Amino acid sequence: MAAQLTLQAPTALPPQELAPYLERLWGEDLQHSSGAATFTLVVYEPSWLQQHLIRTGRVKASLTGLLERELIQAAKTAVPELGLPLSTAVMDQRLAWELGQQPGDDPLEDLRGQFVDAAISAHMPRRLITLAPTLDSGRPLESLVAAYCPLPEERGGGPACGDVVVLRGGRGSMKEALPLVLPLVPADLPCWVWWNSSLDEAPDLLEALAPPPRRLVVDSSLGQPRRCIDLLVERIDAGQAVNDLNWLRLRTWRESLAMVFDPPARRNALEHVVQLDIDVEGDHPLKGLLLAAWLADRLGWHLVDSYRVDESPGAAPGTGGQMGGGIGAEFQRTDGTSVQFRLMPVPVGSPKLHPGALVGLRLICAPEGRPPLCVILCSESGGCMRLEAGGMASMELAEDVVPLPNESEEMEMARLLGGGHDTTNPLLATAAVLAARLLPD
Beta strands in 3-126 (DSSP E): 11-13, 40-44
User: Which residues are 328's β-sheet partners?
Assistant: 307, 342
Select from 4-12, 15-23, 173-181, 413-421 the region that touches other proteins (CB under 8 A). Answer: 413-421
- Give the closest residue to 440 by CA, choosing from 314, 343, 298: 343
Tell me which residues in 129-148 interact with other proteins (CB under 8 A). Answer: none
Amino acid at 16: Q
Select from 8-16, 206-214, 303-311, 425-433 the region that touches other proteins (CB under 8 A). Answer: 425-433
Identify the sign of the CA torsion 223, 227, 230, 236. Answer: negative
Give the nearest distance from C-beta 157 to other proteins in angstroms: 10
In contact, 275 and 340? CB cutoff 8 Å: yes
Q: Contact between 172 and other proteins (CB under 8 A)? A: no
Q: Contact between 3 and other proteins (CB under 8 A)? A: no
Q: For other proteins, which residue of 9, 86, 151, 258 counts as binding (CB under 8 A)? A: 258
Q: Contact between 61 and other proteins (CB under 8 A)? A: no
Tell me which residues in 266-295 interact with other proteins (CB under 8 A). Answer: 267-268, 270, 295
Of the two residues 174 and 273, which places its CB atom closer to other proteins in the complex? 273
Q: Contact between 118 and other proteins (CB under 8 A)? A: no
Q: b/e for 110-132, b at 16 or more Cβ within 10 A?
A: bbbbbbbbebbbebbbbbbbbbb
CB contact set of 369 (below 8 Å; sequence gap of 6+): none
CB contact set of 51 (below 8 Å; sequence gap of 6+): 63, 108, 134, 135
Q: Contact between 298 and other proteins (CB under 8 A)? A: yes
Query: For residue 354, what is the DSSP state?
Result: S
Query: For residue 4, what is the DSSP state?
Result: B
CB contact set of 55 (below 8 Å; sequence gap of 6+): 104, 105, 106, 108, 135
304 vs 300: CA distance, rounded Å: 13
- Give the closest residue to 149 by CA, choosing from 20, 13, 26: 26
Q: Contact between 227 and other proteins (CB under 8 A)? A: no
Q: For other proteins, which residue of 70, 255, 305, 311 counts as binding (CB under 8 A)? A: 255
Q: Contact between 254 and other proteins (CB under 8 A)? A: yes
In contact, 165 and 184? CB cutoff 8 Å: yes
Q: For other proteins, which residue of 6, 114, 246, 425 counts as binding (CB under 8 A)? A: 425
Of the two residues 201 and 396, which places its CB atom closer to other proteins in the complex? 396
* Contact characters 30-59, other proteins, x per CB under 8 A: ----x--x----------------------
Of the two residues 40 and 114, which places its CB atom closer to other proteins in the complex? 40
204 vs 225: CA distance, rounded Å: 18
Q: Contact between 331 and other proteins (CB under 8 A)? A: no
Q: Contact between 160 and other proteins (CB under 8 A)? A: yes
Of the two residues 156 and 349, which places its CB atom closer to other proteins in the complex? 156
Q: Contact between 427 and other proteins (CB under 8 A)? A: yes
Q: Contact between 370 and other proteins (CB under 8 A)? A: no
Q: Contact between 423 and other proteins (CB under 8 A)? A: yes
Binding site for other proteins (CB under 8 A): 34, 37, 156, 158, 160, 188, 251, 254-255, 257-258, 261-265, 267-268, 270, 295, 298-299, 415, 418-423, 425-427
